[in-house]
Structure 1
């Protein structure tokens, strides 16, 4: 109990052990009680963990629970085996050539031994312990897709955690935007992200009714999350290093450019849906355009350079500008449709340009 109380009061098991070592070395404390205080100091650390987890998330409460269980189990076993463990410490000390009265070194050895004992006891039960803690501290009611996952108010207390929370949430927004941009060009994201898109993917039949409209999905999944991200960033009121400030500015710039690309994708999708029939005069050009944008998105996901990302759509745009002029001269393309295609190529170029724009230094 002395070890528990001292650790709780001083908020440090190391301070308790240092005082115990001093008292033991000066002869003011017997050997076995000193060992018991070392065990109590380990129990005292659980109070700090519990207090810290009260206002934290589910994961922190689970970790604090594991910390309490580990230390309590270790303490119970160590107290039950206190005398045998003391004998073991004496035996090891003798083998190591320590003096019989080297109490501080023996106390340090004992502290190490009973922590190793705890590891040996708990390690085989980690999976069951994790399952128990997950049942004891379940996740809250499942968040709606529009809600932030990492923007915990507790993260605002420290610059590192605030910036890390922003990075994680912005990555979630990026993933949603990638999927929605794939919908904008009427291609499954599995055919775009993770592997180079293929010609057969864009030439497949298109069922317009099966594709979610970009504008509706943007207001459902993107805008609410973007609002939470911007609100969280505005609430960061702790001192930031220059590198952290630049990182936040880069994240905001990239996120806003991603949203800008979605607005271009919204316009592009409407035209692609109108001319999605296999016999449409614009289907061939649209297939080239969709493949070029898909290739740019694929390269963007691989974090390639802006020029590499924009190259496919630039090539398609040059080709179809020449091809439109040829078909107009030969009366194989209606001028009204030609103007629609010109606008679609322009929207696709603006979409990729928004994504490929270099981040601020």
Structure 2
């Protein structure tokens, strides 16, 4: 079904105006976050060649853009980093007149506090970070909460994302705090709790964590829902568990960094991604949720009704969106260096 939807995208005749620019586009995006066929189809329709580079964390993307200053036309930061980069004057405002497909987006995901009126960002995908469990090795009831990750039987069987915000969310939620907490005393408690978990961690991976689960290298992993969706498709014993303490939700957006040279091409690509058929194809292939309301008619029931991809309202109510935590991020990062050092 994935291939069928992508084939529809490859053949639907939505004309994209020819551009007088360079015909090149430099995209800097998360690993395994856009189907090759979608990019190839864009090039076929427009003649614009897409040069794709990838990263595995917001921190890596931010550092590179901060240091390099230019070289990329589109980046895909999470909501907290959109807010950070907007405040630091690192982004260019969008030309909404070139984004005729923008109204396809659901109002639930636009005009957010991190970027009022979407001056600098276009929602790309949203999702959750929760727990993938190999029930074939651990059993159905072994993990129902973040607290279960500290069980002795998880020692050496655990995967965590290579991401300080996501890892601290585990401890903060298990302590009953917000995952956006900035109280130094609460962060100290979370750090101490995570210190006890570090010996259990077999691998940190934000590139393709599903591989360690599928290979059997680990039995449980805190991963993004798209990775869990693909792993579950290959091995149904790998189940996605929304922990009872609550869990992290996030949204990634497309932005044009200052220094971008191919602005017409960037806007053409943004408008293409906002097409409902394209948005549906990306959601189907990647296993993440699209903020594109018009895409629903292109989603097959097995995707639209899959709780890994689209949790029901009752489940989603226990999720908490990541927000910008301002200067507190420095404390997170300091503790993160200590935690990673203790795990070497």
Greater helix proportion: 1
For normalisation by structure 1, the TM-score amounts to 0.23
Tell which structure's C-alpha radius of gyration is larger: 1
Higher relative contact order, chain-length normalized (CA < 8 Å, sep 6+): 2
For normalisation by structure 2, the TM-score amounts to 0.24
